[in-house]
Chain A
Amino acid sequence: GQNIDQPTEMTATEGAIVQINCTYQTSGFNGLFWYQQHAGEAPTFLSYNVLDGLEEKGRFSSFLSRSKGYSYLLLKELQMKDSASYLCAVTDSNYQLIWGAGTKLIIKP
Chain B
Amino acid sequence: DGGITQSPKYLFRKEGQNVTLSCEQNLNHDAMYWYRQDPGQGLRLIYYSQIVNDFQKGDIAEGYSVSREKKESFPLTVTSAQKNPTAFYLCASSGLDGYNEQFFGPGTRLTVL
Q: Do A and B bind each other?
A: yes
Residues of A within 8 A of B (CB): 30-31, 33, 40-45, 48, 50, 87, 91, 95, 97, 99-102, 104
Residues of B within 8 A of A (CB): 40-45, 88, 90, 96, 98-107, 109
Contacts of B106 in A (CB 8 A): 41-42
Give A69 Cβ to nearest chain B Cβ, in Å: 18
A95 and B42 contact, CB distance less than 8 A:
no
Contacts of A48 in B (CB 8 A): 99, 101
Tell me the nearest residue of chain B to A50, going by C-beta. Answer: B99
Contacts of A100 in B (CB 8 A): 42
A45 and B107 contact, CB distance less than 8 A:
no
B99 and A97 contact, CB distance less than 8 A:
no
Checking A42, A95, A101 against B100 with a beta-carbon cut-off of 8 angstroms, the contacting residue is: A95
Tell me the nearest residue of chain A to B96, going by C-beta. Answer: A95
Tell me the nearest residue of chain A to B104, going by C-beta. Answer: A42
B100 and A99 contact, CB distance less than 8 A:
no
Given contacts A43-B104, A97-B102, A99-B44, 8 further A-B contacts (CB under 8 A): A41-B106, A43-B90, A45-B101, A48-B99, A95-B96, A100-B42, A101-B41, A104-B40
Q: Which 3 A-B pairs have the closest CB atoms?
A: A101-B42, A42-B104, A99-B43
B100 and A97 contact, CB distance less than 8 A:
yes
Report Cα–Cα, A40/B43, bound state, in Å.
13
Give A12 Cβ to nearest chain B Cβ, in Å: 19
Give A45 Cβ to nearest chain B Cβ, in Å: 6
Checking A30, A31, A44, A101 against B104 with a beta-carbon cut-off of 8 angstroms, the contacting residue is: A44
B99 and A31 contact, CB distance less than 8 A:
yes
Give A58 Cβ to nearest chain B Cβ, in Å: 18
Tell me the nearest residue of chain A to B50, going by C-beta. Answer: A95
Give A41 Cβ to nearest chain B Cβ, in Å: 7
Give B107 Cβ to nearest chain A Cβ, in Å: 5
Contacts of A102 in B (CB 8 A): 41-42
Between-chain CB contacts (< 8 Å), 20 pairs = A31-B98, A31-B99, A33-B101, A33-B102, A40-B107, A40-B109, A41-B107, A42-B105, A42-B106, A42-B107, A43-B90, A43-B104, A45-B101, A48-B101, A87-B42, A99-B43, A99-B45, A100-B42, A101-B41, A102-B41
